[in-house]
Structure 1
Amino acid sequence: MDFLYTQFPSFADSLLFHLVLILIGLVALYYGAEWLVKGASEIAVRVGISPLVVGLTVVAFGTSAPELLVCLEANLGGRPDVALGNIIGSNICNIALILGVSAAMKPIVINRQIIRREMPILIVVTLAFIVMLYNGDIGRFEGGLLFAGVVIYVVVSIIQSRKEHKPNDFGEFSAEDVERVKKAGALTIFMDIGFILLGLAVLKFGSEWLVVGGDFTARRIGVDDSIIALFLFAFGTSLPELATSIVAVKRGEGDIITGNAVGSCIFNILAVIGITALVKPVAKGDILMVDQMVMLGATVAIFLFMWSRMRLSRMEGVCLLLAYVAYSVVRYNMT
């Protein structure tokens, strides 16, 4: 990066260069998360951790890793509204766009656990997040509370899944995949460690490029940082969840779709904002109350959709997509 600014200053200061930087950053975040999840999941299965537990912990946190890296990069760089906008936008994207696309492609049957446990937790966590933002920032103490919440959530999920785990219940892993991982040789372990390290490195650089390119582009075209974060960054960091959901739709695995989207929303607030605020308090910046209310409204709406008939229909999926488009248009015109 410094080499380009030194040797090709005019090009490095152009809008085209930073648009390319955004694109490369998005691609890096997608593949970085994929490699991180692949390596960590296979190691976890190899050492005897239930695949269901892996899905609730490693995969959920892995798909939230892009949000974490972008938030840390933005907040430490003096762009707290980008950090908050990324999380609020990602949660709206997970619920309205990802679940909307998935349900529009094929109706989704909802597992009772999602309605009885995960959705109430997400609603409470979302309300707590909005209350914490009321005074204008999220401090280290509040960040500590959020992080403690994700630790409790993960521990309870592991304990509960062990009690309810069935011998043939492999979560989002097929029985063939589990056997393949367990029978793999020692060399595969080093390959999995390599995937984890490579994924973390790519996520680090991808988040940096995305924030730098997005910040420059926002300033050049006169768009607020919050808009860039709420939509561009949010969509980019939600690519792992979107890819996972599309594959799950084709396989007819509704639990993965809803669990992935809802679980990622919980991790985004508890883990990502919690860790970010622990490192440095997060100021509210240009994030509006309407953004927070849309996030809360989308969460409550999807809970009502799920609760009514234990499924998401194609029509409800289309409604979610239209609502996301309407919010995008209205929010952009408010700047």
Structure 2
Amino acid sequence: MPPILWIILGLVGLIFGAELVVRYGARLASGLGVPPILVGLTVVSLGTSLPELAVGIDAVRTGAGSLAVGNITGTNIVNLLLILGLSAAIRPIPLGLQTLRLDLPAMGAAAFLLLVFSVDGALQVWEGVPLVVFAIVYIVLLVRSTRRENAVVLAEFAEEYPVSRPRERRAGPILLQSGLLVVGLVVIVFGAQWLVEGAVDLATALGVSDALIGLTIVAIGTSAPELATTILSTFRGDRDIAVGNLIGSSIFNLTMILGVTLLFAPGTVAIDPELVHVDLPAMVAVSLVCGPLMISGRRLSRAEGIGLVAAYVLYFGYLIVART
């Protein structure tokens, strides 16, 4: 089968599998009496990040480390420039205090930490430990901050992921939800394998680097769930939660996802020089620029959103022209 078909098949598998994990994992956990806050911070966050994790682990174990790092780097650039920019271009985005006080500083710090680890042109297995610790500290702070939010947030979450009340709990639905959750995980594993194999074969056939494929096709593909969710929530008018999750997902990708990926690496993960000298600094710059844009007026305006989208178009154009 041609590499592009494996890539398409892998992307479809990742998106479909992540949807199953998020939807039925959230329903199962809530149906068993798990608080909605913990469901959002665990099942939903993990489910939307599983594509990046599966791709990363499979890539480092097959010697395509630049594909794994390029996917994380490209995904975050897509999240912050393209998806966030499109949402703001459609309708200005008001921002909550948690985003300004916790999420934005954490995102900038996580991006800078990854850049520091990567300056020598490689990532070590042990460097996954501080990244995972960073994620755990962030989650703890996030839980403390979330507990102080009002009931409106919980009601919005319950509306997005409707579940049966605990008193309506029945063995049949629980078994069905558990089965669909397992199916989603299996589909994600196979989807990641197909995507990585197709991406590596395509890079070889075109004579380009694994990093470029990771920054473009794989990054955009694994960001598809976030793109659909954010745009949909924009038209529904509940973007505060979606935008917070988008930024939180970027932090989670840089720390927990990449950290766990490194822990599964058989040894040192080499990174393409262009990834170290161009793309990782670009990701750090995007993370730092987004802060002042959002803090000014505590909102992201249409003009700023259009500017972010234009910046992504320029960056993508650079990748196509200069790296192929």
TM-score class normalised by the smaller sequence? over 0.9
Unmatched tracts of structure 2, length 5 or more: none
Distance (Å, rounded) in 2 between the aligned partners of 1:253 and 1:168? 11
Unmatched tracts of structure 1, length 5 or more: 1-11
User: 1:301 offset after TM fit, Å?
Assistant: 1.7
Distance 1:141 1:187, change over 3 A: same
Matched with 1:244 is 229
2:293 equivalent to 1:297: no
User: 1:88 offset after TM fit, Å?
Assistant: 0.2
Matched with 1:173 is 157
Distance (Å, rounded) in 2 between the aligned partners of 1:251 and 1:176? 11
CA RMSD of aligned residues (A): 1.8
Matched with 1:218 is 203
Distance (Å, rounded) in 1 between the aligned partners of 2:25 and 2:96? 26
Distance (Å, rounded) in 1 between the aligned partners of 2:208 and 2:315? 16
2:114 equivalent to 1:132: no
2:267 equivalent to 1:283: no
> After the TM superposition, which residues 40-189 of structure 1 pair with which residues of structure 2 at under 5 Å, given as runs?
40-162=25-147, 164-170=148-154, 172-174=156-158, 178=162, 180=164, 182=166, 183-189=168-174
Matched with 1:316 is 304
2:17 equivalent to 1:29: no
Count of residue pairs the alignment pairs up: 319
TM-score normalised according to structure 2 size: 0.93
2:241 equivalent to 1:253: no
Distance (Å, rounded) in 2 between the aligned partners of 1:64 and 1:238? 9
Distance 1:330 1:240, change over 3 A: same
Percent identity between matched residues is 37
User: 1:229 offset after TM fit, Å?
Assistant: 0.5
TM-score normalised according to structure 1 size: 0.90
Q: Deviations over 1:33-88 (max 9, x none)?
A: 11111122112222333323322332222111100000111110000000100000
User: 1:179 offset after TM fit, Å?
Assistant: 5.7
Distance 1:45 1:202, change over 3 A: same
